[in-house]
Amino acid sequence: MRNECCVVGAYAELSKEGVEEMMSAANEQEKIKIEEILHFLEVVISSSGKLNSQIDFLKEYEEIGCDVSWQSLGEIYDCCKKSLFATKTVLNKDMGKIKIYASLLVFKVLENLIDNTLQHGKASEIRLSFFIAPNENLVIVYEDNGIGIPQSDKDRIFEKGYGKNTGMGLYLSKEVLDITDTKICEKGEPGKGVRFEIIVPKDNYKI
């Protein structure tokens, strides 16, 4: 499956190069059609790349997803921060002091949240923090200042097949967290940004 996606993406890239060369010799009416074709090819290229990433995620999940260890929240963030580009990040200064017992793929959860913010959230800022709940569970909070999630979609975002791409990102994130009985929910206000809360059982973290 992954090879087929790579081939489709490669053909789309080559086709895009050929179509772009046609642009200089085209008249105005032809340019409109060419721009439509280019947009379609860009969608194909982007979708094939996202699908390849999800296939890689599934492969890693099958191979090491159930392997668990104590991991620093600071190190998990370091694995993902390269994805942030110019997005402003506000990080709780004590994040690095906390370790959680989780799947070796737990960094993919944060990576996926960041990707969703960059792709769909229209946000300029991401905030990462935590607090200890009254029942002593650790609550890790991921927020952005983007468009948020419609109220009607909140109960569906973790379902397999939901989403604008392959529908696997948040579903797989939930599966990775479930391995150590860690839960995730979304409590953001539509129109004001997302607020994902990752709830770590009291025996599965240490400071």
Which phi and psi angles does 96 have, rounded to 5°?
-65, -15
Whether residue 78 is found in the same domain as residue 130 = yes
**For residue 114, what are its two tokens?**
């960041």
Residue 201's domain comprises 70-206
Sign of CA dihedral 120, 121, 126, 127: negative
Closest residue by Cα to residue 101 from 141, 63, 73: 73
pLDDT tens string 11-49: 445 455 555 566 565 566 766 676 777 666 666 555 555
DSSP for 76-115, please give it. HHHHHGGG-TT-EEEE-TTGGG-EEEEETTHHHHHHHHHH
User: Does residue 50 have a pLDDT over 80?
Assistant: no
For the chain, percent of residues with pLDDT exceeding 70: 64
Q: What is the pTM of this model?
A: 0.69
> What's the CATH number where 141 sits?
3.30.565.10
Whether residue 89 is found in the same domain as residue 190 = yes
**Identity of the amino acid at 86:** A
Domain final residue pick, 20, 42, 62: 62
pLDDT tens string 166-204: 445 788 889 899 999 999 999 999 999 999 999 999 999
